[in-house]
Amino acid sequence: MYVGIDIGGTQIKYALVDDAAQIFEKSALDTPKDKEPFLEQVTAIIQAYQEKHDDILGVGISAPGIIQKDGMMTTAGAIRSLYGTNLKEEIKARTGMVTVVENDANAVAIAEKWVGNAQDLDNYLCIVLGTGVGGGIVINGEVFRGAHGIAGEFGWAITKELPEEGNIEYASLNLHISVIGGLCRLYNEALIKEQPEATSTWDAREILQRYTENEPIARQVVDRFHQDLAVGLINLISQYDPEAILIGGGISANEQFFNGLKETMEKLETRHESINFIKQYGWTPILPAKLKNDAGIIGAVYPLHKQSQSS
Protein backbone atom coordinates (compact mmCIF):
# COMPACT_ATOMS: atom_id res chain seq x y z
CA MET A 1 0.00 0.00 0.00
CA TYR A 2 1.17 3.52 -0.82
CA VAL A 3 0.16 7.04 0.17
CA GLY A 4 -0.72 9.07 -2.92
CA ILE A 5 -0.86 12.86 -2.63
CA ASP A 6 -1.97 15.21 -5.41
CA ILE A 7 -1.08 18.83 -4.66
CA GLY A 8 -3.07 21.56 -6.33
CA GLY A 9 -3.12 25.29 -5.97
CA THR A 10 -6.34 25.18 -3.95
CA GLN A 11 -6.56 21.63 -2.58
CA ILE A 12 -4.40 18.71 -1.54
CA LYS A 13 -6.10 15.44 -2.49
CA TYR A 14 -4.79 12.24 -0.94
CA ALA A 15 -5.56 8.54 -0.61
CA LEU A 16 -4.13 5.08 -0.14
CA VAL A 17 -3.36 3.23 -3.37
CA ASP A 18 -2.64 -0.48 -3.78
CA ASP A 19 -0.66 -2.33 -6.45
CA ALA A 20 -3.77 -2.66 -8.62
CA ALA A 21 -4.19 1.15 -8.62
CA GLN A 22 -7.28 0.89 -6.42
CA ILE A 23 -7.92 3.92 -4.20
CA PHE A 24 -8.96 3.82 -0.54
CA GLU A 25 -9.66 6.38 2.18
CA LYS A 26 -9.58 9.37 -0.15
CA SER A 27 -9.94 12.88 1.21
CA ALA A 28 -8.90 16.48 0.55
CA LEU A 29 -7.80 19.61 2.40
CA ASP A 30 -7.15 23.21 1.46
CA THR A 31 -3.58 23.88 0.32
CA PRO A 32 -1.56 26.01 2.75
CA LYS A 33 0.26 28.78 0.90
CA ASP A 34 3.25 29.13 3.25
CA LYS A 35 6.07 26.60 3.21
CA GLU A 36 6.18 25.37 6.80
CA PRO A 37 2.40 24.98 7.25
CA PHE A 38 2.34 23.18 3.91
CA LEU A 39 5.06 20.72 4.93
CA GLU A 40 3.39 20.18 8.30
CA GLN A 41 0.05 19.46 6.61
CA VAL A 42 1.51 16.91 4.18
CA THR A 43 3.45 15.27 7.02
CA ALA A 44 0.27 15.04 9.13
CA ILE A 45 -1.59 13.35 6.25
CA ILE A 46 1.10 10.69 5.93
CA GLN A 47 1.47 10.14 9.67
CA ALA A 48 -2.29 9.65 10.06
CA TYR A 49 -2.14 6.82 7.53
CA GLN A 50 0.97 5.39 9.19
CA GLU A 51 -0.85 5.21 12.52
CA LYS A 52 -3.73 3.24 10.98
CA HIS A 53 -1.80 0.95 8.61
CA ASP A 54 1.46 -0.95 9.04
CA ASP A 55 1.82 -1.98 5.39
CA ILE A 56 2.60 1.40 3.80
CA LEU A 57 5.64 1.09 1.54
CA GLY A 58 6.13 4.68 0.41
CA VAL A 59 4.73 8.09 -0.48
CA GLY A 60 4.10 9.38 -4.00
CA ILE A 61 3.47 13.09 -4.51
CA SER A 62 2.15 14.81 -7.62
CA ALA A 63 2.78 18.57 -7.64
CA PRO A 64 2.65 21.52 -10.05
CA GLY A 65 5.75 23.12 -11.49
CA ILE A 66 9.17 22.12 -12.77
CA ILE A 67 10.41 19.23 -10.66
CA GLN A 68 13.82 17.63 -10.99
CA LYS A 69 14.35 13.87 -10.71
CA ASP A 70 15.84 14.31 -7.22
CA GLY A 71 12.67 16.01 -5.96
CA MET A 72 13.89 19.60 -6.17
CA MET A 73 11.07 21.98 -7.08
CA THR A 74 12.51 24.58 -9.40
CA THR A 75 9.00 26.05 -9.50
CA ALA A 76 5.74 24.99 -7.86
CA GLY A 77 2.94 26.56 -9.84
CA ALA A 78 0.87 28.92 -7.70
CA ILE A 79 2.52 27.73 -4.46
CA ARG A 80 5.42 30.16 -4.67
CA SER A 81 6.68 29.42 -1.15
CA LEU A 82 7.85 25.99 -2.36
CA TYR A 83 10.13 27.32 -5.10
CA GLY A 84 13.60 25.90 -4.48
CA THR A 85 12.35 23.26 -2.01
CA ASN A 86 13.47 19.64 -2.26
CA LEU A 87 10.06 18.22 -1.42
CA LYS A 88 11.25 14.62 -1.62
CA GLU A 89 13.95 15.13 1.02
CA GLU A 90 11.71 17.24 3.26
CA ILE A 91 8.95 14.63 3.42
CA LYS A 92 11.34 11.69 3.71
CA ALA A 93 13.11 13.36 6.65
CA ARG A 94 9.82 14.10 8.43
CA THR A 95 8.13 10.72 7.92
CA GLY A 96 10.92 8.22 7.39
CA MET A 97 9.09 6.97 4.27
CA VAL A 98 10.50 6.36 0.81
CA THR A 99 9.20 9.34 -1.18
CA VAL A 100 8.94 10.21 -4.86
CA VAL A 101 7.79 13.53 -6.31
CA GLU A 102 6.49 13.97 -9.86
CA ASN A 103 5.17 16.87 -11.91
CA ASP A 104 1.36 16.76 -11.96
CA ALA A 105 0.98 16.46 -15.75
CA ASN A 106 3.62 13.72 -15.86
CA ALA A 107 1.71 11.94 -13.10
CA VAL A 108 -1.46 12.02 -15.19
CA ALA A 109 0.43 10.61 -18.18
CA ILE A 110 1.93 7.84 -16.03
CA ALA A 111 -1.43 6.96 -14.50
CA GLU A 112 -2.99 6.65 -17.95
CA LYS A 113 -0.22 4.22 -18.93
CA TRP A 114 -0.81 2.13 -15.81
CA VAL A 115 -4.60 1.76 -15.80
CA GLY A 116 -6.01 4.37 -18.18
CA ASN A 117 -6.41 5.02 -21.89
CA ALA A 118 -2.69 4.71 -22.69
CA GLN A 119 -2.19 1.12 -21.53
CA ASP A 120 -1.45 -0.06 -25.07
CA LEU A 121 0.65 2.98 -26.02
CA ASP A 122 4.39 3.57 -25.73
CA ASN A 123 4.70 6.98 -27.40
CA TYR A 124 2.03 9.50 -26.50
CA LEU A 125 1.40 12.97 -25.12
CA CYS A 126 -0.85 14.05 -22.29
CA ILE A 127 -2.09 17.63 -22.05
CA VAL A 128 -3.89 18.76 -18.90
CA LEU A 129 -6.21 21.76 -19.13
CA GLY A 130 -6.80 23.55 -15.86
CA THR A 131 -5.67 26.85 -14.37
CA GLY A 132 -2.84 26.64 -16.90
CA VAL A 133 -1.73 24.04 -19.42
CA GLY A 134 0.37 21.09 -18.28
CA GLY A 135 1.96 18.46 -20.47
CA GLY A 136 3.49 15.02 -20.22
CA ILE A 137 5.66 13.41 -22.91
CA VAL A 138 6.06 9.63 -22.91
CA ILE A 139 8.65 8.12 -25.26
CA ASN A 140 9.23 4.37 -25.40
CA GLY A 141 7.14 3.98 -22.25
CA GLU A 142 9.18 6.46 -20.18
CA VAL A 143 8.49 10.07 -19.24
CA PHE A 144 10.76 12.47 -21.11
CA ARG A 145 11.86 15.34 -18.86
CA GLY A 146 14.37 17.18 -21.02
CA ALA A 147 17.75 18.57 -20.02
CA HIS A 148 16.38 20.91 -17.34
CA GLY A 149 13.13 19.23 -16.31
CA ILE A 150 10.89 21.54 -18.34
CA ALA A 151 9.88 19.22 -21.18
CA GLY A 152 6.11 19.22 -21.52
CA GLU A 153 5.57 22.88 -20.66
CA PHE A 154 3.25 23.11 -23.64
CA GLY A 155 1.53 26.13 -22.17
CA TRP A 156 4.64 28.27 -22.69
CA ALA A 157 4.40 27.87 -26.46
CA ILE A 158 3.61 31.09 -28.30
CA THR A 159 1.07 30.85 -31.11
CA LYS A 160 -0.27 34.40 -31.24
CA GLU A 161 1.03 37.71 -32.58
CA LEU A 162 3.37 39.20 -29.99
CA PRO A 163 2.35 42.29 -28.04
CA GLU A 164 4.39 45.33 -29.04
CA GLU A 165 5.92 45.57 -25.55
CA GLY A 166 5.80 43.90 -22.16
CA ASN A 167 5.31 40.26 -21.29
CA ILE A 168 5.08 38.18 -24.46
CA GLU A 169 3.57 35.30 -22.46
CA TYR A 170 0.22 36.96 -23.13
CA ALA A 171 0.57 35.33 -26.56
CA SER A 172 1.12 31.86 -25.06
CA LEU A 173 -1.11 28.81 -24.97
CA ASN A 174 -1.39 29.14 -21.19
CA LEU A 175 -3.43 32.29 -21.65
CA HIS A 176 -5.59 30.97 -24.47
CA ILE A 177 -6.26 27.23 -24.14
CA SER A 178 -6.28 26.69 -20.39
CA VAL A 179 -9.68 26.55 -18.71
CA ILE A 180 -9.18 29.30 -16.13
CA GLY A 181 -6.41 31.45 -17.61
CA GLY A 182 -7.80 31.00 -21.12
CA LEU A 183 -11.48 30.17 -21.61
CA CYS A 184 -12.87 31.76 -18.44
CA ARG A 185 -10.56 34.79 -18.52
CA LEU A 186 -11.32 35.59 -22.14
CA TYR A 187 -15.05 35.09 -21.64
CA ASN A 188 -15.12 37.40 -18.63
CA GLU A 189 -13.12 40.07 -20.43
CA ALA A 190 -15.51 39.99 -23.38
CA LEU A 191 -18.57 39.91 -21.09
CA ILE A 192 -17.51 42.88 -18.95
CA LYS A 193 -16.53 44.88 -22.00
CA GLU A 194 -20.02 44.49 -23.43
CA GLN A 195 -21.94 44.41 -20.14
CA PRO A 196 -19.96 46.34 -17.47
CA GLU A 197 -22.44 45.42 -14.70
CA ALA A 198 -22.35 41.68 -15.45
CA THR A 199 -20.98 39.16 -12.93
CA SER A 200 -17.90 37.20 -13.97
CA THR A 201 -17.94 33.40 -13.97
CA TRP A 202 -15.02 31.04 -13.44
CA ASP A 203 -17.03 27.88 -14.12
CA ALA A 204 -16.36 26.54 -17.62
CA ARG A 205 -19.54 24.45 -17.44
CA GLU A 206 -21.59 27.62 -17.18
CA ILE A 207 -19.85 29.11 -20.21
CA LEU A 208 -20.43 25.94 -22.23
CA GLN A 209 -24.09 25.98 -21.20
CA ARG A 210 -24.39 29.56 -22.43
CA TYR A 211 -22.74 28.40 -25.65
CA THR A 212 -25.49 25.78 -26.04
CA GLU A 213 -28.05 28.52 -25.47
CA ASN A 214 -26.47 30.53 -28.31
CA GLU A 215 -25.35 33.45 -26.18
CA PRO A 216 -23.30 35.54 -28.67
CA ILE A 217 -20.34 36.15 -26.34
CA ALA A 218 -20.12 32.47 -25.36
CA ARG A 219 -20.37 31.40 -29.02
CA GLN A 220 -17.52 33.71 -30.01
CA VAL A 221 -15.21 32.83 -27.11
CA VAL A 222 -15.79 29.06 -27.13
CA ASP A 223 -15.38 28.83 -30.89
CA ARG A 224 -12.05 30.65 -30.59
CA PHE A 225 -11.08 28.44 -27.64
CA HIS A 226 -11.69 25.33 -29.75
CA GLN A 227 -9.67 26.81 -32.60
CA ASP A 228 -6.70 27.83 -30.44
CA LEU A 229 -6.63 24.42 -28.75
CA ALA A 230 -6.90 22.63 -32.10
CA VAL A 231 -3.97 24.66 -33.45
CA GLY A 232 -1.90 23.76 -30.39
CA LEU A 233 -2.73 20.06 -30.78
CA ILE A 234 -1.95 20.07 -34.50
CA ASN A 235 1.43 21.64 -33.72
CA LEU A 236 2.17 18.92 -31.14
CA ILE A 237 1.15 16.15 -33.54
CA SER A 238 3.40 17.60 -36.24
CA GLN A 239 6.35 17.82 -33.85
CA TYR A 240 6.04 14.48 -32.04
CA ASP A 241 3.89 12.18 -34.23
CA PRO A 242 2.54 10.43 -31.10
CA GLU A 243 0.31 7.38 -31.08
CA ALA A 244 -2.31 9.53 -29.33
CA ILE A 245 -2.79 12.73 -27.39
CA LEU A 246 -4.76 12.37 -24.16
CA ILE A 247 -6.54 15.41 -22.75
CA GLY A 248 -6.98 15.60 -19.00
CA GLY A 249 -8.53 18.07 -16.61
CA GLY A 250 -12.16 18.40 -15.61
CA ILE A 251 -13.24 19.82 -18.97
CA SER A 252 -12.13 16.62 -20.74
CA ALA A 253 -15.21 14.87 -19.33
CA ASN A 254 -17.52 17.36 -21.04
CA GLU A 255 -18.92 15.71 -24.17
CA GLN A 256 -19.95 19.03 -25.70
CA PHE A 257 -16.42 20.39 -25.35
CA PHE A 258 -14.89 17.27 -26.88
CA ASN A 259 -17.28 17.14 -29.82
CA GLY A 260 -16.62 20.82 -30.58
CA LEU A 261 -12.87 20.26 -30.42
CA LYS A 262 -12.94 17.26 -32.77
CA GLU A 263 -15.14 19.11 -35.25
CA THR A 264 -12.79 22.10 -35.24
CA MET A 265 -9.70 19.93 -35.65
CA GLU A 266 -11.20 18.15 -38.65
CA LYS A 267 -11.98 21.48 -40.31
CA LEU A 268 -8.47 22.84 -39.74
CA GLU A 269 -6.75 19.62 -40.82
CA THR A 270 -8.75 19.63 -44.05
CA ARG A 271 -7.59 23.18 -44.76
CA HIS A 272 -3.90 22.25 -44.13
CA GLU A 273 -2.72 20.85 -47.44
CA SER A 274 0.15 18.70 -46.14
CA ILE A 275 -1.80 17.31 -43.20
CA ASN A 276 -4.88 16.66 -45.31
CA PHE A 277 -2.71 14.58 -47.64
CA ILE A 278 -0.78 12.64 -44.99
CA LYS A 279 -3.87 11.70 -42.94
CA GLN A 280 -4.64 8.89 -45.36
CA TYR A 281 -1.52 7.12 -44.07
CA GLY A 282 -2.42 7.55 -40.40
CA TRP A 283 -2.94 10.39 -37.97
CA THR A 284 -2.91 10.91 -34.21
CA PRO A 285 -6.25 10.50 -32.40
CA ILE A 286 -7.29 12.86 -29.60
CA LEU A 287 -8.63 10.96 -26.58
CA PRO A 288 -9.99 11.98 -23.18
CA ALA A 289 -7.95 10.89 -20.19
CA LYS A 290 -9.76 8.08 -18.39
CA LEU A 291 -8.89 8.64 -14.75
CA LYS A 292 -10.16 12.21 -14.27
CA ASN A 293 -9.61 13.56 -10.74
CA ASP A 294 -7.84 10.45 -9.44
CA ALA A 295 -5.08 10.50 -12.06
CA GLY A 296 -2.64 12.60 -10.02
CA ILE A 297 -2.91 10.36 -6.96
CA ILE A 298 -2.53 7.17 -9.00
CA GLY A 299 0.32 8.47 -11.16
CA ALA A 300 2.19 9.77 -8.12
CA VAL A 301 2.60 6.27 -6.66
CA TYR A 302 3.31 4.46 -9.92
CA PRO A 303 7.14 4.74 -9.59
CA LEU A 304 6.86 3.06 -6.17
CA HIS A 305 4.66 0.31 -7.59
CA LYS A 306 7.05 -0.20 -10.50
CA GLN A 307 10.02 -0.42 -8.15
CA SER A 308 8.27 -2.96 -5.92
CA GLN A 309 7.39 -5.14 -8.93
CA SER A 310 10.98 -5.21 -10.17
CA SER A 311 12.57 -5.95 -6.79
pLDDT band with cut points at 50, 70 and 90 for residue 311: low
Query: Are 300 and 271 in a shared domain?
Result: no
Average pLDDT of span 74-83: 92
User: CA 6 to CA 12: how far, in whole Å?
Assistant: 6
What CATH code is carried by the domain that includes residue 189? 3.30.420.40
Q: Please, what is the average pLDDT of the chain? A: 93
* Number of domains forming the structure of the chain: 2
Look at residue 65 and tell me if it is in a domain. Answer: yes
pLDDT at 78 over 90: no
How much is the pLDDT for 45?
A: 97
68, 156: one domain: no
User: Are 306 and 201 within one domain?
Assistant: no
Instruction: Specify if 114 maps to a domain.
Output: no
Average pLDDT over residues 78-91: 95
Of 15-24, 49-58, 81-90, 285-294, the poorest mean pLDDT is in: 285-294
For residues 261-273, average pLDDT: 96
Cite the DSSP H helix spans in the chain.
35-52, 87-95, 104-115, 185-194, 204-212, 216-240, 255-271, 273-278, 295-310
Assessment of whether the complete model's pTM goes beyond 0.95: no
Residues 153 and 234 both lie in one domain:
yes
Q: Are residues 207 and 233 in the same domain?
A: yes
For residue 16, the cross-strand partners are 3, 24
In angstroms, the CA 291 to CA 253 distance is 10
Q: Are residues 248 and 225 in the same domain?
A: yes
Domain ranges, residue 72:
2-109+292-310
